[in-house]
Structure 1
């Protein structure tokens, strides 16, 4: 396992410690959760972009419009 040192403003550090405490976890575990979520989002976006390059642009926009219409109901 690697060690990472980051610099944060003191107030942000304190708020993150309070968040971790409120969740009943350590600050280390909180950052593990944050990084896992960021990686999952990055991977999903990468897969989406690769598929979009191979797909039909007009059909993709049509599907997004349909999602917007469904979401507004």
Structure 2
């Protein structure tokens, strides 16, 4: 694992502590999980955009597939 130092305002730091306590995890674990989720969402979004790009110009073909019985 790697360490990352993040500066937070005292207000945000306090809220992170509260949320972590509510979830029963450490603030470090909460932020680590949040970062991992953000990376997964970013990767999914990039994949979506790549797939959309590959499908450009093939709208009629896609609609024809949807109309099949």
Asked if these proteins are the same fold (TM beyond 0.5), I'd say yes
Q: Does 1:7 align with 2:7?
A: yes
Structure with more contact order per residue of length (Cα contacts < 8 Å, sep ≥ 6): 2
The normalised TM-score by structure 2 is: 0.78
The normalised TM-score by structure 1 is: 0.74
Q: Which runs of 5+ in 1 are unaligned?
A: 64-73
Q: Which runs of 5+ in 2 are unaligned?
A: 64-69
What is the RMSD of the two structures over their aligned residues, measured on CA atoms?
1.9
Q: Aligned partners of 2:26 and 2:42: how far apart in 1?
A: 24
Q: Does 1:43 align with 2:40?
A: no
Query: Larger Rg: 1 or 2?
Result: 2
